[in-house]
Amino acid sequence: MRAATIQNGEIAVAEQADPTPGPGEVLVRVRAAGLNGADLLQVKGHYPAPPGHPQDIPGLEFAGEVVARGPAAGRFAEGARVTGITGGGGQAELLKVHERQITPVPHGLDWAQAGGFSEVFTTAHDAIVTQAGLRPGERLLVHGAAGGVGTAAVQLGHALGAHVTASVRNGALHERVATLGADEVVEPALLADPEREVDPFDVILELVGAPNLDTNLRRVAVGGRIVVIGVGAGVKGELNLMRLMSARARIMGSTLRARPLEEKAIAARHVEREVLPLVERGAITVPVAATFGLDDAAAAYARFAEGGKLGKIVLTMD
């Protein structure tokens, strides 16, 4: 098979051995695979894949067709269209993955959208619903709302009946983010300005990092929850404990990639029950900023690193 591989800190397409599915695993012919921030970190040598996954082939989400099954794998028939998450190796023509951490491709998504679906919607749902317990009528703030997880969180928050505020630095993207369900789209500077009156937020999804820590503590509601799942702009900052105490707020952090199979399987079932129906009735979708063929994987990574996009960058294998 061919795959996007990491070679001396760069992405290059190379031939790799075909994987063989083990017990409970299926072999998927990948049709599309989304890029994520973790992939960029892995290329730079800062985020190695967990044990059992290839260290030189990035890719945390994918969509494709089951072409073979390992021993005791019986949930999906050969030919089934599936999408899911993996600890690595998704950006290749073939991938072995445990059947418990994949789901059917929801109706209404093409291959590119399906390839960019699972990581961002699983991450967003786990953060704002499972971890933070977002409820209808609450106020949700999403920092970095134009990216893959951000656009997923905006749509999920809207579908759940929350009031959604999207923080987006690029003013040219504000109107498009609003069409995804944001009740208001603002620049980060507005939220950071202590002189500005802003209604407090029950749940804050942090996708940018430490520079927003002070803003979040100023804007969190009494009993509010701050979930940190992105730190691209910085990992360290000062924490005003008096503000945290006064708000009786909680700050929590979460990652998905290194979780054990059982936890990933639970997250996949939540998505299957609660998110796939929203896709199938057109309540949410997967915005795709650009697609690149596998041969252009290096260009795809360069586009991802540029920022300023709305939605996903996706590699297609056909």
Per-residue pLDDT of the chain (318 residues; tens, 9 = 90+): 999 999 999 999 999 999 999 999 999 999 999 999 999 999 999 999 999 999 999 999 999 999 999 999 999 999 999 999 999 999 999 999 999 999 999 999 999 999 999 999 999 999 999 999 999 999 999 999 999 999 999 999 999 999 999 999 999 999 999 999 999 999 999 999 999 999 999 999 999 999 999 999 999 999 999 999 999 889 999 999 999 999 999 999 999 998 999 999 999 999 999 999 999 999 999 999 999 999 999 999 999 999 899 999 999 998
For residue 287, what pLDDT is reported? 97
**The token pair that represents 313 in the structure block:** 């960058």
Eight-state DSSP code of residue 108: T
Distance from the Cα of residue 89 to its chain's centroid: 16
The one-letter code for the residue type at 301 is Y
For residue 37, what pLDDT is reported? 92
Give the H or E element holding residue 132.
Answer: none
The one-letter code for the residue type at 23 is P
Distance from the Cα of residue 114 to its chain's centroid: 13
Q: How many Å apart are CA 214 and CA 87, to the nearest integer?
A: 32
For residue 307, what pLDDT is reported? 87
For residue 232, what pLDDT is reported? 87
In order of 12, 13, 292, 306, the CA distances from 8 in angstroms are: 10, 13, 22, 21
**Nearby residues of 236 by Cβ (< 8 Å), 6 or more positions away:** 210
As beta bridge partners, residue 104 has 82
**The token pair that represents 64 in the structure block:** 């494709």
Distance from the Cα of residue 140 to its chain's centroid: 17
CB neighbours of residue 22 within 10 Å: 13
**Nearby residues of 304 by Cβ (< 8 Å), 6 or more positions away:** 35, 39, 40, 313
Structural domains of the chain sorted by starting position, each given as residue range(s) with its CATH number in brackets: 2-117+257-316 (3.90.180.10), 122-253 (3.40.50.720)
CB neighbours of residue 80 within 10 Å: 18
